[in-house]
Amino acid sequence: MGNPTPGRSLLRRTLGGVVLVVRKFAALILLLLVVLLALRAWQSTQGPSLRAWHKVAPVEMDAHDIAQASWAEYVAAEQRMFDEVHRDLQDKMEAGDRTPLNRYVDGSLASPMAFGRDWNRSFVLEPAGEVRGVAVMLHGLTDAPYSMRSLADVYRRHGYVAIVPRMPGHGTVPAGLTREGRKEWEAATEMAMREAARRAQGRVPVHLVGYSNGGALAVLHVMRRIARGERNDVERVVLVSPMIEVNAFARYAGLAGLPSFFPRFARSAWLDVLPEFNAFKYNSFPVRAARESYLVTSDVSAAIADVAAQGRMDRVPPILAFQSVVDDTVNAPAVATRLFDALPANGSELVLFDVNRNRVLAPILRTNATQWSQAALQGPARRYTVTVIGTASPDDASVVARTRPAGSTHVQVEATTLRYPADVYSLSHVALPFPADDPLYGNVPTGRAHLQLGTVAVRGERNTLAVSQDSLNRLSWNPFHDDMAMRIEAVIR
């Protein structure tokens, strides 16, 4: 045969060059990944060592068993698991672990029992009189049922039975989140909803209330039932700091834990390894929990898309959501763009807690993180109501509610009896569920507790504390909690 034509030779050389470039690029990416993993492995050897509560993962019911269990069976298994965890920790904790600020030391300042009751466990609040409804309350990631305690009491006072399940992996030791994940959380949600249906018996309304990751689970429950063509089992949804979208890091968080395959680098399975002085929330945070949080939000997006594609968004019950305009845990604007903008005109409302726009504080606030709340009151009419709670003016710390009703472009301004605290520049993701008088997280706490995290004010040299100064300064209570409770009471009535 003859020699290849010049055109074919050029094509082969071009393809060969492309293949070479692709191989070099792939090799570069592989090298970069190896370097990053090596750095991550080295970094894991530099921090504090893992303690017993990072290593002893409780054995809980799996998703299949939870799906088959009754509320009573779930609570009984939970009790056995708590007893086992307590025995294991007492055996495996070292002498240096037994400090006055360790939540796992009986009688310590941070012990859950210092608050009169271990609110890490699933609980039910019963109304004093006639049952007028049932509310299922879902707590957030690394939290415990304690975070729903105040809102559960709001419902109880109005005649509702408040059912507050502990999500698997929570309330015990941080290691629990290295084993449990979204499948178990979804099963626990379904189990609690079955208990709500049993108590409601179709005679009284059922509300589903979710905080943070619990908010995502609540939306997921509602959307999946609609997508499956099942009858809606919820009359109203209430969301607090809902986890509709998390930052991009969570998507790839699993890569950070790869070096933990080798025992020497076991600590790389953790993003934070911190002292556990918070009675009802983990301070330490495993890589797996970050990855699972992303997967939950991914499931939520897919479920919303399914319902929209089926033309069934008109079946979504009204949603009342509360969100801080700035939020370092979730993507705050996504609550509007990814969830509320997809809703029908069904009476839903998004309430935003704005930053303190005091003339003195304004210059030190990041504009790109705070301006979206102003845009929410502008532009074309929406199918839902938007309310922004914030300062009346740069010179007036009194708080007003600016509301744009569904279908309207007119903004109504209503005065409140509230004032923005002078030393607070914004709310935070973790602040919303807790009133100012919360025994642990409030700034004017009530009760018998000796540890009051909401009033912590420590000063000294930087790079000295085992926890970040930012975490100690993060607002842990909601100065507008009364307003939030009033709006929830309005939908209850």
Give the structural domain span for 205. 43-433+482-492
Residue 20 inside a domain? The answer is no
Phi, psi of 304 (to 5 degrees): -60, -45
Would you write out the chain's pLDDT as a tens digit for each of its 493 residues?
Answer: 455 566 667 666 676 667 777 777 777 777 666 665 566 555 555 667 899 999 989 999 999 999 999 999 999 999 999 999 999 999 999 999 999 999 999 999 999 998 889 999 999 999 999 999 999 999 999 999 999 999 999 999 999 999 999 999 999 999 999 999 999 999 999 999 999 999 999 999 999 999 999 999 999 999 999 999 999 999 999 999 999 998 776 766 666 666 666 666 666 788 888 999 999 999 999 999 999 999 999 999 999 999 999 999 999 999 999 999 999 999 999 999 999 999 999 999 999 999 999 888 888 888 877 888 888 899 999 999 999 999 999 988 899 999 999 999 999 999 999 999 988 999 999 999 999 999 999 988 776 656 778 777 666 777 677 777 777 788 999 999 999 999 999 999 8
Distance, CA of 41 to CA of 61 (rounded, Å) = 32
Give the per-residue pLDDT at 1: 47
Q: How far apart are the first and last CA of the chain?
A: 90
The answer to whether 400 and 390 are in contact (CB under 8 A) is yes
Distance, CA of 130 to CA of 136 (rounded, Å) = 18
- Both 452 and 372 in a single domain? no
DSSP state string for 204-245: S-EEEEEETHHHHHHHHHHHHHHHTTPPP--SEEEEES--S-
- Both 380 and 453 in a single domain? no
- Both 239 and 217 in a single domain? yes
- Both 443 and 376 in a single domain? no
Residue 310 inside a domain? The answer is yes
Distance, CA of 131 to CA of 146 (rounded, Å) = 23
Residue 319 inside a domain? The answer is yes
- Both 374 and 454 in a single domain? no
Residue 4 inside a domain? The answer is no
Closest among 293, 245, 136, 110 to 199, alpha carbons compared: 136
- Both 205 and 345 in a single domain? yes
Residue 33 inside a domain? The answer is no
Report the percentage of the chain scoring pLDDT > 70: 87
- Both 425 and 447 in a single domain? no
- Both 176 and 303 in a single domain? yes
Give the per-residue pLDDT at 262: 63
Task: Tell me the CATH number at 62.
Answer: 3.40.50.1820
Give pTM, 2 decimals: 0.90
For the record, the structure tokens of 346 come out as: 């069904």
- Both 302 and 402 in a single domain? yes
- Both 148 and 229 in a single domain? yes
Residue 98 inside a domain? The answer is yes
Residue 34 inside a domain? The answer is no
Distance, CA of 325 to CA of 402 (rounded, Å) = 14
For the record, the structure tokens of 434 come out as: 């807790």
- Both 318 and 449 in a single domain? no
Residue 324 inside a domain? The answer is yes
Number of domains the chain is built from? 2
- Both 298 and 443 in a single domain? no
